Amino acid sequence: MDLRLNRVDYIQVGVTSQKTMRLLPPLGKKATQKVAIADHDGILTCFGIKKGEAVPVFKTLPGQKIARMDLGGAAGTPQEKIFVCSGSQVRGFTKKGKQFLTFEANLTESINAMHVSGADLFVCASYIYNHYCDCKDQDYYLSGDKINDITCLSTENLTHLVPVLACQDRVLRVLQRSELAYDIEVPGPPSVLELYKEQGEEILFGTTDGKIGLVEIGELSAATKWEIDNDKKKGGILCIDNYDIIGDGVNDILVGRDDGTVEVYGFDSSNEPTLRFEHVLSESVTSIQGGCVGKESYDEVLTATYTGWVTGLTTEPQKAEAGPGDEVRMSKETQSKVEALRAELEQLQVKVLQGREQYQQTSQSSTAVSAVPVFSINDKFTLCQDDASYSLTLEVQTAIDNLLLQSDVPIDLLDVDKNSAVVSFSECDSEQPNGNFLLATYRCQANTTRIELKVRSIEGQYGTLQAYITPRLQPKTCQVRQYQIKPLSLHQRTHSIDQERPMNRLSLVGQFSFAEIHSWVVFCLPEVPEKTPAGESITFYFHNTFLGTQLEATYCKGEGHFKSDNISTISILSDVLSKEATKKKINLNISYEISDDSVSHTLNMIHPKLEYQLLLARKVQLIDALKELQVHEGNADFLIPEYRNILDESANLLEEYKKQPAHLERLYGMITDLFIDKFKFKGQNVKTKVSSLLEILDNYDLNSLLDFFNEA
């Protein structure tokens, strides 16, 4: 059965953070619920809906940016106390807006995740977890990587509290008091956690790469119940809720993503989640809740977006009346809304005009300083696992006018279908010392608040990518964001690697501290926490998203060991690390251990990809010619089956080919690098032989390539 939901916009507040909107529990049995939402201006607004109009209950004064909101109350009573955190302070409000709690957590950083359960308060700053009971310090934990979210298993059927932390390094950490009980590996960096049922040991998680799963937390270990993969490459998960919107008696899962997608997953008879409803809101969805807001007895999905729009997707049908006549008649509510907006707009126009005149006059003054309006940008620069490219998303609270991208490393910008902006590439002069490799301008269509770009980098080439964002504001101003493209930019953290593969080693010995070598590793590799890990030594595992090769990095004070089955990775690492050490004037003792098998192993790993690409290119070349023949003859029956096959699949092949532009060139580049690096470690310079290597690649055959690698 399909689910139909109609969109209703309620009000707009300021820019909101993740999980800052909640529905207060209903008073009567079927009455509508009140909505509490907090924004970056520090204003907590609580409102109800009466006859389609938002009626405010209370509104607090502006203050520091509010990062999280949770509802709480004494055990057994309705959870209707509102808790918000801003900076390192937690404040509590009653449902009437009376502030009853101000609690200074005394953390150096600001709180970014919070959970309230009865008298217990759990807060997390970047790496720190703290538990307070009645505002008294109880437990403390320092996590190895950034904490994104926290939740706590309900206490009634468990003897003690079980907090669960969602950490950036792809694990959920289950704590017991101040100790780590165990951790659970999840397929991506988890961004949000939600209890599946009020009472129970099951937790829903959502990851920044768009996967959802359910884990059952046991005493000593956890079991994954199900996971939903992100095949359609939708955005990362920002919020999850469970609520029975379909009305079949089983709680459904409501999901909000950072590309604006709102989804409802229902459960079929076999208890597998299936997608039942999807809607796209064009801005990232920061909070989602199921309940009843607009009209009693009609359930709805309430969402809050980044720019602060509170939108309901309701089961209530929208257009109730109709009559004869061709013209579409507006309902009374719509008419009054249009009139109200028109009146407001007129007033504002007059006001703005006056303000602008005044501004023009004062700007002539020699002593006055023109202040710049501040606007917030929500940006994300992440590596996509399946196509080995970075996706850069930028979101501004108002519409974007244009976006300039500047890069000092060679990168490719790929097309994104969702993107409606017009792109123009400017000519660059990369020969100059401070030359640009890329200058691109995106001019956005009206009302685009969110833009998504794909950037493809090359391993070994590192530097910065800068984005200059200009929104449609008066006066026009611009903000710059910088993104690092790391030397080993295509590596992604994993939990373990295959130890059987032939490995090349790189060892560093020298007078450096643990913090120093950690900062070098942070410089080289993505997804490494900036904070120096606790303990004497640390091991990180990575895998190359493009080739599937792996890297193990183990280091401690004065010593570092890197193992990889790809010689190029080792070569890049040794180059960058020695450069970094030279900058700090530290003498490094570098030793290598090169395994000859590793080259053929890497080539064997590349082989299927290369073969597939070559075949694809060959097939695509033929499509046009075959199509012409088909048109001439009327049918394709006279062709040999192989060609007929190509014709049948031509649409798929072309699409595939379009999706992977320059894939072949990328592979060629990697093989050439591998070839040069292999001989570099032997002390030979083989750059002159590259042309003959390319010749071999053009008539590709794995054995002849292996031979060439061995003999040259």
Partner 1 sequence: MGLLDKLTGWLGLKKKEVNVLCLGLDNSGKTTIINQLKPPNTQAQEIVPTIGFNIEKFKSSSLSFTVFDMSGQSRYRNLWEHYYKESHAIIFVIDSSDKLRMVVAKEELDTLLNHEDIRSKRIPVLFFANKIDLQDAMSSVKVSQMLCLENIKDKPWHICASNAIKGEGLQEGLDWLQDHLKTMNT
Q: Does 535 bind partner 1 (CB under 8 A)?
A: no
With CA atoms as reference, report the closest residue to 298 among 312, 279, 309, 288.
312
Residues in the chain: 712
Q: Does 297 bind partner 1 (CB under 8 A)?
A: yes
In the complex with partner 1, the residue whose CB is nearer, 329 or 351, is 329
In the complex with partner 1, the residue whose CB is nearer, 320 or 640, is 320
Amino acid occupying residue 253: I
Count of positions on this chain that bind partner 1 (CB under 8 A): 15
CA gap 514, 578 in Å, rounded: 16
CB of 317 to partner 1, least distance (A): 5
Contact region with partner 1 (CB under 8 A), list: 143-151, 321-329, 408-416, 693-701: 321-329
In the complex with partner 1, the residue whose CB is nearer, 294 or 471, is 294
By CB under 8 A, the residues from 428 to 457 that bind partner 1 are: none
CB of 266 to partner 1, least distance (A): 12
CB of 246 to partner 1, least distance (A): 8
CA gap 444, 447 in Å, rounded: 8
CB of 293 to partner 1, least distance (A): 17
By CB under 8 A, the residues from 691 to 710 that bind partner 1 are: none
In the complex with partner 1, the residue whose CB is nearer, 322 or 631, is 322
In the complex with partner 1, the residue whose CB is nearer, 6 or 441, is 6
Among 28, 249, 323, 641, binds partner 1 (CB under 8 A): 323
CB of 332 to partner 1, least distance (A): 9
Residues with Cβ < 8 Å from 402, sequence gap 6 or more? 441, 442, 443, 444, 470
With CA atoms as reference, report the closest residue to 539 among 554, 517, 524.
554
Calculate the CA dihedral of residues 527, 532, 538, 542 and round it to 10 degrees. 10
CB of 296 to partner 1, least distance (A): 9
CB 283 within 8 A of CB 308: no
With CA atoms as reference, report the closest residue to 132 among 193, 88, 78.
88
Site string for partner 1, 340-379 (x = CB under 8 A): ----------------------------------------
CB 169 within 8 A of CB 145: yes
Contact region with partner 1 (CB under 8 A), list: 189-197, 211-219, 310-318, 617-625: 310-318
In the complex with partner 1, the residue whose CB is nearer, 30 or 98, is 30
Residue 182, class by beta-carbon neighbours within 10 Å (0-12 exposed, 13-18 middle, 19+ buried)?
A: middle
Q: What is the DSSP letter of 545?
A: T
Among 99, 199, 318, 336, binds partner 1 (CB under 8 A): 318
Among 28, 106, 108, 320, binds partner 1 (CB under 8 A): 320
- CA angle 77-23-272, nearest 5°? 95
Contact region with partner 1 (CB under 8 A), list: 143-151, 264-272, 319-327, 337-345: 319-327
CB 157 within 8 A of CB 119: no
CA gap 564, 576 in Å, rounded: 16
CA gap 74, 553 in Å, rounded: 48
Is the peptide bond preceding residue 78 cis, with omega within 30 degrees of 0?
A: no
In the complex with partner 1, the residue whose CB is nearer, 61 or 322, is 322
Q: Does 322 bind partner 1 (CB under 8 A)?
A: yes
CB of 318 to partner 1, least distance (A): 7
CB 209 within 8 A of CB 188: yes
CB of 251 to partner 1, least distance (A): 17
Q: Does 317 bind partner 1 (CB under 8 A)?
A: yes
In the complex with partner 1, the residue whose CB is nearer, 313 or 405, is 313
Contact region with partner 1 (CB under 8 A), list: 318-326, 389-397, 454-462, 504-512: 318-326
Gap between the terminal Cα atoms of the chain: 65
Handedness of CA 623, 628, 631, 636 (dihedral sign): negative
Q: Does 50 bind partner 1 (CB under 8 A)?
A: no
With CA atoms as reference, report the closest residue to 454 among 659, 231, 188, 667.
659
CA gap 92, 72 in Å, rounded: 9
CA gap 54, 9 in Å, rounded: 10
CB of 268 to partner 1, least distance (A): 17
Q: Bin 260: left if φ > 0, else alpha if -120 < ψ < 50, else beta.
A: left
CB of 333 to partner 1, least distance (A): 12
Q: Does 28 bind partner 1 (CB under 8 A)?
A: no
Residues with Cβ < 8 Å from 368, sequence gap 6 or more? 362
Q: Looking up tokens 């595992």, which residue turns up?
A: 541
In the complex with partner 1, the residue whose CB is nearer, 6 or 466, is 6
Q: Looking up tokens 């395994």, which residue turns up?
A: 595
In the complex with partner 1, the residue whose CB is nearer, 220 or 320, is 320
Among 1, 61, 371, 374, binds partner 1 (CB under 8 A): 1
From residue 630, alpha-carbon distances to 247, 453, 636, 642, 646 in Å are 53, 39, 5, 14, 12
Question: How many C-beta atoms surround the C-beta of residue 538 within 10 A?
Answer: 19
From residue 284, alpha-carbon distances to 148, 413, 469, 480 in Å are 17, 23, 18, 21
Among 247, 373, 435, 475, binds partner 1 (CB under 8 A): 247
Among 168, 230, 261, 315, binds partner 1 (CB under 8 A): 315
In the complex with partner 1, the residue whose CB is nearer, 230 or 315, is 315
CB of 299 to partner 1, least distance (A): 10
Contact region with partner 1 (CB under 8 A), list: 252-260, 312-320, 510-518, 622-630: 312-320
CB of 277 to partner 1, least distance (A): 12
By CB under 8 A, the residues from 90 to 149 that bind partner 1 are: none
Q: Does 321 bind partner 1 (CB under 8 A)?
A: yes
Contact region with partner 1 (CB under 8 A), list: 264-272, 317-325, 502-510, 513-521: 317-325
In the complex with partner 1, the residue whose CB is nearer, 321 or 711, is 321
CB of 204 to partner 1, least distance (A): 25
Q: Does 319 bind partner 1 (CB under 8 A)?
A: yes
CB of 322 to partner 1, least distance (A): 5
Q: Does 631 bind partner 1 (CB under 8 A)?
A: no
| Pair of tokens at residue 575 | 């180059």
CA gap 529, 104 in Å, rounded: 27
Residue 445, class by beta-carbon neighbours within 10 Å (0-12 exposed, 13-18 middle, 19+ buried)?
A: exposed
| Pair of tokens at residue 253 | 């899962």
In the complex with partner 1, the residue whose CB is nearer, 319 or 418, is 319
CB of 656 to partner 1, least distance (A): 40
Site string for partner 1, 253-292 (x = CB under 8 A): ----------------------------------------
CB of 44 to partner 1, least distance (A): 33
Amino acid occupying residue 516: E
From residue 328, alpha-carbon distances to 52, 322, 701 in Å are 21, 8, 67
Amino acid occupying residue 582: T
Q: Which residues bind partner 1 (CB under 8 A)?
A: 1, 3, 246-247, 297-298, 315, 317-324
